[in-house]
Structure 1
Amino acid sequence: MAHHNILNQEKFDIVTHSSAYWIGFLYADGCIFNNQIKITLQERDIEHLEKFNTFLEGNLNIRYVKSTKAYTVGFSSKYMVERLKSFGIYQNKTFSCVPPTLLEFNIDFWRGVIDGDGHLGISNGCGKDKRIRPRLELCGNYATVVGFKVFINTQIENFINVISRHSSIYKIQSSGNKAFKIARLLYDNAEVFLDRKYNVYNEMLSKFNLKYERKEIKTV
C-alpha cells in the first residue's frame, strides 16, 4: 500500500519561534527542487528530522541513504515552496540567497542558520596558547555572513569581527567571551535547536559561565 504524506501546509504562513527557526535551518541546509523540499543530515542528527516532522504535523518517511550514511526526509508541496521563496529559499540558493528582511533580526532564524551551516565548539588552543575557549563560526555566501554580522552587532556591543573569504565561501568567526555571548543569545531559552549543538552550548555554560561573569563584573 502506497504511503501518502500528511502535513500542515500552512506552517510557514505565520512567523512563530518554531517557524522562524525552521526557515533559518532550511535557508542554510535545506534543498528545494521544483516543488520538492528536502533535508538530508548525517546519521547522528536523525532526531532533528523527527523534530521537523513533528513541526509539520506530518507522517513523513525518514529514509536512510546507505551510500552516504545519512538520513533524509522530503515531500512535495507547491504551496510551501512558494511560501519559502518569499523568505529567500529557492532552488540553487547557495550562492545567491539573502537573509529575509522580515527575519534579519530574528534570533530563532539565526539559530536555525547556525544549526545548519555554523560551527559551535570548544577549542583546545594551539601553539603556546593552551587555553580552552568557546568558538563559533558561520560559513555561507557574502550576504548571509554580512547579515549575521549586522544582526550580532545590534545585539552585542563591540562585536564587529572580520569576514574572511575562502574561494566562493565567506566565513565569520568568534572565540572566547564574544563567542560565549553569541551562544547565549542564540540558545538561552530556545524552543527548537539541533541537540548536538545545544549540548555543546550546555558544555560551554558549565565550563565558562562563571569565568565570563566574573570578567564582566571586573569591567563594569
Structure 2
Amino acid sequence: MSHGRFKLRYQTKANAFDGAAPDSRWALGLMAADGNVRSAAAQVRFGQGAKNKDILDAMKAHIGHEGEPSYQASTNSYMMSWTSGRHVDDLAVYGVVDAKSLSFALPEIDLMSFDFLRGYIDGDGCVGYYSNGTHRKYLHVSWVGTAEFINQCQDWLPIQGKTRSLGNVTEIRFSGTKAVELCGLIYSAQGFKSRKQSIYESSLAEVA
C-alpha cells in the first residue's frame, strides 16, 4: 500500500479501527484516551509510559506495525507513529480527531461499548485496591474526560458513578461493590490483560 505516490515504510492492518470486533473497539478506546491524529498528513500516533509499554506492544501487534517505537527519556515513555488514511477516517467515526484532548466525545452514544471503555480505562483510567483505614480494602475505578464524554458514560452505563469537575476535565469514579460490578462487565471479554485488569482480579482473589 502507498500513501500518495510514496511507498509506506511500515504496513498496517487496514481494518484495525473499524469497530467490528472486540479487539478493534478496545483499540479505539485506547486511541480515544492516549492517541492523536494529524488528518492532513494521514498520520496517527500512540504513546505510553514505560510502565505501560505492554499496552503499546499490544497496540503495535493489533495494527500490525513492524517498526520499533521511539523512546523519550525526558518523559520515560514510548511513542510510535504511522501513516494510514483509512485509520484516520475510521478513528474520526469514533470522535478521535485532531486536537481532541479538550473536545472528545463519541459522535453517537450507540458507539459506546464495554470493549471501548476497557480500552479507554486501560489507557487513561485508574484501577486500585486500597485500604479504608481499617482492616478492610476496597476496589476503586475512575477515569477523566470531557464533561460531554463523562455524561455519555454515566447515561450509558447500568451502574451510576460519582462525578466531579477537575478544571478542564470531569472525573467519574466507582468504589466498593460498584467498582467490582463495573470491572466484571468491562473485563469479561477475552483479549489483552492489562495491569489494571490484573489489579481487579487480584482483589477478587484476596476476598475469595
CA RMSD of aligned residues (A): 1.8
- The one-letter amino acid paired with 2:168 is S
> Shift in Å at residue 141 of structure 1?
0.6
Aligned position for 1:97:
104
Q: Unaligned stretches of 5+ in structure 1? A: 154-158, 211-220
Aligned position for 1:59:
66
- The one-letter amino acid paired with 2:128 is G
The reply on whether 1:26 has 2:25 as its aligned counterpart is no
Q: Distance in 2 between matches of 1:72 and 1:26?
A: 13
Paired residues in the alignment total: 198
The reply on whether 1:85 has 2:84 as its aligned counterpart is no
Structure with larger Rg: 1
Aligned position for 1:185:
185
SS of residue paired to 2:157: helix
Aligned position for 1:201:
200
Cα-to-partner distance string for 1:106-133 (whole Å, 9 max, x where unaligned): 110111111122110111224xx55310
Equivalent pair of 1:60/1:75 in contact (CA under 8 Å): no
- The one-letter amino acid paired with 1:145 is I
Q: 1:14 to 1:117 in 2, by over 3 A?
A: closer
Aligned position for 1:114:
121
Aligned position for 2:153:
148
Q: 1:68 to 1:147 in 2, by over 3 A?
A: same
**Identity, % of aligned pairs?**
22
> Shift in Å at residue 67 of structure 1?
1.6
> Shift in Å at residue 14 of structure 1?
4.8
Q: Distance in 2 between matches of 1:111 and 1:14?
A: 14
Q: 1:86 to 1:43 in 2, by over 3 A?
A: same
Q: Distance in 2 between matches of 1:113 and 1:150?
A: 17
Equivalent pair of 1:24/1:109 in contact (CA under 8 Å): yes
Equivalent pair of 1:6/1:60 in contact (CA under 8 Å): no
Q: Unaligned stretches of 5+ in structure 2? A: 1-7
Q: 1:190 to 1:99 in 2, by over 3 A?
A: farther
TM-score scaled by length of structure 1: 0.83
The reply on whether 1:8 has 2:13 as its aligned counterpart is yes
